[in-house]
Structure 1
Amino acid sequence: MLTEHTYKQFDTELEAVRANVLKMGGLVEEQIINAIEALVNGDLKLASQVEANDHTVNALEVAIDEDCTHIIARRQPTASDLRMVMMVVKTITDLERIGDEAAKIARMSRLIHQSERISLPRFSEVKYMADLVLDMLRKALDGFARLDATLAVEIARQDQSVDEEFRLNLRHLITFMMEDPRTISVFIDILFVTKAIERMGDHAKNMSEYVVYMVKGKDVRHTSLEEIEKEVL
């Protein structure tokens, strides 16, 4: 009975940690949405809110990391249980970095809209990239919640699309700056925004790869799309 009780406690601790990861994921998703809205609409108050809420995301990462440390120290997990704890530790690191990128977009939106500009560009391309990354993040969190490794393939494909969108936006921004040097300042700020979104996609892809490691016991980081497909499909 003692052993059974211990196992039940262990399962409860793991589930609590997983729930907190999903809570953190929800906060980060909200950060992205608000950061892009602040950029598109010039909402400086919302931008400030995103920057302030970054501390909440950071604090949650620290709390989950401490919980994982205590689980390892007390329970000494092995096999799939250990992979689960390691997946959580890696996932919250990527979530925290996505949150940092969202805060960076909020800061850039403040620069873009506070400064006196000749004109402001349309943000449709930026919004499209952000929507792609948001979908990647949601799928990565869904894969984490359901331990569904197959979503890693779709996320990897989407990451390629995000990278292509970044390259396309980069070419457009350079062209605009060459045509009118007065726009260089604002377009450099927008370039930083698109790079932040591209990095978010990379982190979401990382999260999906940790699920593959959890489910399959196979590390597919730094491998091709074809290798990921072979492993999970």
Structure 2
Amino acid sequence: MEPGKDSFSKHISNQFNIELEQIRTQMLSMGGIVERQVSDSIEALMNGDIELAEQARQSDKTANQMEIDIDQQCTKIIALRQPAASDLRLIISISRAASDLERIGDESGRISKHAIEIANSGINARFGYQEVRHIGMIVTEMVRDVLNAFSRGDLEMAYKVAKRDREVDQEYRSATRSLVTYMMEDPRSISVILNVMWILRSLERIGDHARSIAIHLIYQVSGEDVRHKSLREIKEAVHDASPEDDLDNYQSE
């Protein structure tokens, strides 16, 4: 069963069904653009590719406009249809997810900006690049996985995305400590390392926003707002909303 996909499939008004499917599709399309923006900004840094970094920055304009369009459409549906229960939660979760996607796009734009500054500096030192690649891989996977979870109403995957944010936070703190040590050992590297530290901070925030999207999906399907809950409480909400036979893969976590 796919609750997120099927929860709006039996309305008297076929037009209402179409409207709900349209905003969900728009949000997922926006997610695809933002996911590509994240990966492009990281690749641009690794390869010193200024052109790719500029392309990633320009993608942010598209994401911004899509967020506005989705938000306006959600507002219009609420005003005209006055949806209740699961339909209202679907609309709210899509609107909130679009907002988080827009912020992920903003952070990707910041990564591209710092990548351009590093490339233009002419300094070949690659302090912290290994850490950026590693954390970048994790958050890119989180964004991809949470979009897949949203498309299928998959609460198991949403929970795993939320859980993985803790890994990102730990890796970020470790990377920051390493970069501070580099700066103390070689003051000439400070300008580049500061840019890398800002990039790492943006990656950490992307992880936060991917987690938030997972939380919105859990709210949509379960009806429980777990935004400020612990991982254990989130797991319990997912457990209560999911069929028992779907939980075998993570009951023991």
1:150 partner SS:
helix
TM-score under structure 2 normalisation? 0.88
The question of 1:213 aligning with 2:212 is answered no
Which one of the candidate residues 173, 176, 180 is aligned to 2:182? 176
CA distance in 1, matches of 2:146, 2:158: 7
Matching of residues 121-136 of structure 1 within 5 Å = 121=127, 123-136=129-142
Deviation at 1:161, TM superposition (A): 0.6
Residues 51, 103 of structure 1: 8 Å contact kept: yes
Which one of the candidate residues 155, 162, 169 is aligned to 1:163? 169
Structure 1 runs of 4+ off > 6 angstroms?
A: none
TM-score under structure 1 normalisation? 0.95
Q: What is the CA deviation profile of residues 75-107 of structure 1, one whole-angstrom value per residue up to 9, with x for unaligned ones?
A: 111111000100011000000000000000000
CA distance in 1, matches of 2:72, 2:223: 24
| 2:89 aligned partner, one-letter code | R
Deviation at 1:122, TM superposition (A): 5.8
Q: What is the aligned partner in structure 2 of residue 153 from structure 1?
A: 159
Report the RMSD for the aligned CA atoms in angstroms: 1.4
The question of 1:100 aligning with 2:106 is answered yes
Deviation at 1:133, TM superposition (A): 0.6
CA distance in 2, matches of 1:22, 1:118: 38
Residues 152, 228 of structure 1: 8 Å contact kept: no
The question of 1:141 aligning with 2:147 is answered yes
Task: Pick which of 169-178 and 45-54 moved more.
Answer: 45-54
The question of 1:91 aligning with 2:97 is answered yes
2:13 partner SS:
helix
- Runs of 5+ consecutive residues of structure 2 not aligned to the other structure: 1-9, 240-253
Q: What is the aligned partner in structure 2 of residue 80 from structure 1?
A: 86
CA distance in 2, matches of 1:34, 1:70: 34
CA gap 1:5/1:202 in 2 versus in 1, 3 angstroms: closer
Aligned length: 230
CA distance in 1, matches of 2:11, 2:30: 29
| 1:125 aligned partner, one-letter code | E
Percent identity of equivalent pairs: 43
The question of 1:227 aligning with 2:233 is answered yes
Q: What is the aligned partner in structure 2 of residue 199 from structure 1?
A: 205
- Runs of 5+ consecutive residues of structure 1 not aligned to the other structure: none
Residues 25, 141 of structure 1: 8 Å contact kept: yes
The question of 1:71 aligning with 2:77 is answered yes
Q: What is the aligned partner in structure 2 of residue 20 from structure 1?
A: 26
CA distance in 1, matches of 2:122, 2:130: 21
| 1:228 aligned partner, one-letter code | I
